[in-house]
């Protein structure tokens, strides 16, 4: 980790969040951020000595906010909050999600609006830079008052309690990991229990990670769609710029431009371009791919705007102003992020759906324009890609279920004090599953379209689509007798996830990025 991102000098970018979450960059607070943290802490220290109650400093939490806590019990109050709120259940979420959440909470601490001690901000910085990811469970956040249980699990690790994944990925007691990394556990002081747990950081982190993955997957979808159009003897004329200008959605124009470029120079497309071709227009799943992919791109642009705004926000309750005021607020409510997460799940399902339709068309001898049934080497003896399409269909059905919004639900909590919640964490978790599902759906289309292009020999595909087919052939053999197909799907997934597919065409596509 040679590079270091400074917190407090400017808003974090989405790219920086992804780089830190995925473990390639360190973080450090700027001197200005450190001074702001120290100044806010001075205000909290003064309030801790005051007779007037202040929420989170000298009172209980949630519905217990009416309970005044004596000075000699306030440190215990913070420890109790963290231990009681670390009440998650289910499987451990992915370390990259935890790292993103830690980073985003640290970003808010560095804003100087939370009132934590400088040592506490430094402890969270140390945990993140040491590559330690606290064990955070799948269930426990309602997406309001922040991602409470997930963030409390992080705070618990800062206290040297609970479990973590160390830098090597081993699940170990937090105390052992801290000691091994040369880090000291903290003893949280007034306000710090709230400041460490009261943010939308988990759901925002998952939104940013999903966005990064989806930008790449939509580029891959344009590629696999172009390969399918080519393999099915479709036309590239529907993707021409003058047609796209009649409906000026920017995402649509981008996808059409990329598909048109991907098909440039194709002998297969040229072979049926003359007057002998009687097909006047292609099926919707081919012809309308830019409209569907483009709408997904425009949805992603909107949700990126939401994420960017959230990355400029200081989410805590109460907040500490530079003049010493401590004000309760509702900025911890996850609705803005939850809606964005739910919104993205819709185009993810639809991009997968249209890809599955293209795959099915290549396998159907009645619609594939001369391709063998199911792309089998010996149809009847061999089944070819028949069941690969079943896998796609099962995933698409699942993605449609995952597109049902989580944010329309709300279950009151904390004795009706917290009587409307966002369910943003749930929206984020299902979006991550949806992104994984779309990756597999596109992998199956990639496998199928590449095989179909092989069957069009001796006609050669376009340089772009041919480069993708040739890359796949380094991991998966071409047409032949049936063989174990699951490893081939996994290999195609790996080429997509690793970025190798897009890297293979970077030179040809560079001018239209």
| pLDDT, tens digit (0-9, with 9 covering 90-100), for 96-136 | 999 999 999 999 999 999 999 999 999 999 999 999 999 99
* DSSP single-letter state for residue 325: -
Q: How confident is the model at residue 510 (pLDDT cuts 50, 70, 90)?
A: low
Is 60 exceeded by the pLDDT of residue 470? yes
pLDDT at residue 278 in the model = 64
d(CA 403, CA 405): 6
Strands 137-139, 89-92: pairing kind: antiparallel
The phi-psi region of residue 316 (left if phi > 0; otherwise alpha if psi is between -120 and 50; otherwise beta) is: beta
Cβ atoms within 10 Å, residue 68? 10
Cβ atoms within 10 Å, residue 71? 10
Give the mean model confidence (pLDDT) for residues 59-87.
Answer: 77
Is 90 exceeded by the pLDDT of residue 62? no
Give the mean model confidence (pLDDT) for residues 481-500.
Answer: 97
Is 70 exceeded by the pLDDT of residue 2? no
| pLDDT, tens digit (0-9, with 9 covering 90-100), for 237-251 | 999 999 999 999 999
Contact status, residue 162 vs residue 118, Cβ threshold 8 Å: no
DSSP-assigned beta bridge partners for residue 382: 379
d(CA 459, CA 466): 11
Instruction: Assign 55 to helix, strand or coil.
Output: coil
Here the tokens at position 482 are: 């049936």
Give the mean model confidence (pLDDT) for residues 278-307.
Answer: 94
Contact status, residue 461 vs residue 469, Cβ threshold 8 Å: yes
Instruction: Assign 243 to helix, strand or coil.
Output: helix
**Side by side, which strands form the sheet with 133-134?**
133-134, 163-165, 171-173
Alpha helices in 364-423 (DSSP H): 386-402
Q: How confident is the model at residue 65 (pLDDT cuts 50, 70, 90)?
A: low
d(CA 268, CA 384): 22
User: Domains of the chain by range and CATH?
Assistant: 4-199 (1.10.275.10), 207-318+326-512 (1.20.200.10)
Residue tagged active-site, from 55, 284, 339, 390: 55
pLDDT at residue 324 in the model = 86
Catalytic residue at 55?
A: yes
Task: For residue 332, give every residue at least 6 positions away whose Cβ sits within 8 Å of its Cβ, in sequence order, or none.
Answer: 144, 145, 146, 198, 199, 200, 315, 316, 317
Detail the DSSP E strand segments found in 323-384: 326-327
Here the tokens at position 62 are: 């949630």
Q: How confident is the model at residue 52 (pLDDT cuts 50, 70, 90)?
A: confident
Nearest 5°: CA angle at 422, between 427 and 313? Answer: 95
d(CA 167, CA 112): 29
d(CA 7, CA 30): 6
């Amino acid at each position: 980790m040679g590079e270091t991102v400074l917190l407090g000098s400017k808003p974090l970018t989405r790219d920086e969040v992804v780089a830190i979450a995925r473990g390639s960059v360190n973080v450090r607070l700027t001197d200005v951020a450190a001074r702001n943290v120290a100044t806010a802490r001075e205000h909290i220290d003064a309030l801790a000595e005051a007779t007037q109650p202040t929420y989170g400093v000298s009172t209980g939490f949630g519905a217990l906010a009416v309970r005044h806590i004596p000075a000699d019990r306030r440190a215990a109050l913070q420890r109790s909050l963290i231990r009681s709120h670390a009440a998650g259940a289910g499987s451990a979420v992915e370390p990259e999600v935890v790292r993103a959440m830690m980073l985003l909470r640290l970003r808010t601490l560095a804003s100087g609006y939370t009132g934590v001690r400088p040592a506490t901000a430094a402890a969270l910085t140390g945990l993140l830079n040491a590559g330690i990811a606290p064990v955070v469970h799948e269930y426990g956040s309602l997406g309001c008052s922040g991602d409470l249980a997930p963030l409390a699990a992080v705070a618990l690790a800062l206290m040297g309690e609970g479990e973590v994944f160390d830098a090597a990925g081993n699940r170990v007691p937090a105390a052992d990991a801290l000691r091994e990394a040369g880090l000291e556990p903290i003893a949280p002081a007034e306000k710090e229990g709230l400041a460490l747990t009261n943010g939308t950081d988990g759901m925002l982190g998952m939104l940013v990670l999903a966005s990064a993955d989806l930008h790449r997957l939509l580029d891959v979808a344009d590629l696999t769609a172009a390969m399918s159009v080519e393999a099915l003897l479709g036309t590239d004329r529907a993707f021409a710029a003058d047609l796209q200008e009649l409906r000026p959605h920017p995402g649509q124009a981008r996808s059409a431009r990329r598909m048109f470029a991907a098909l440039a120079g194709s002998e297969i497309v040229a072979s049926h371009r003359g007057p002998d071709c009687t097909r006047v227009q292609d099926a919707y799943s081919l012809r309308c791919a830019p409209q569907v992919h483009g709408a997904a791109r425009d949805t992603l642009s909107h949700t990126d705007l939401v994420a960017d705004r959230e990355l400029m926000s200081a989410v805590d309750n109460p907040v500490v102003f530079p003049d010493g005021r401590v004000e309760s607020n509702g900025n911890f409510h996850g609705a803005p992020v939850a809606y964005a997460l739910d919104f993205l799940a819709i185009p993810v399902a639809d991009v997968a759906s249209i890809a599955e339709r293209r795959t099915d068309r290549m396998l159907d001898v009645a619609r594939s324009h001369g391709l063998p049934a199911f792309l089998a080497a010996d149809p009847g003896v061999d089944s070819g890609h028949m069941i690969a399409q079943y896998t796609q269909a099962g995933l698409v059905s699942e993605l449609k279920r995952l597109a049902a919004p989580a944010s329309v639900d709300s279950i009151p909590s904390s004795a009706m004090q917290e009587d409307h919640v966002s369910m943003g964490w749930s929206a984020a978790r299902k979006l991550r599953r949806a992104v994984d599902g779309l990756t597999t759906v596109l992998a199956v289309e990639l496998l199928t379209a590449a095989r179909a292009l092989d069957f069009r020999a001796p006609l050669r595909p376009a340089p772009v689509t041919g480069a993708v087919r040739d890359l796949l052939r380094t991991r998966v053999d071409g047409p032949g007798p049936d063989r174990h197909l699951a490893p081939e799907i996994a290999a195609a997934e790996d080429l997509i996830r690793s970025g190798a597919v897009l890297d293979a065409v970077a030179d040809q596509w560079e001018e239209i990025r």
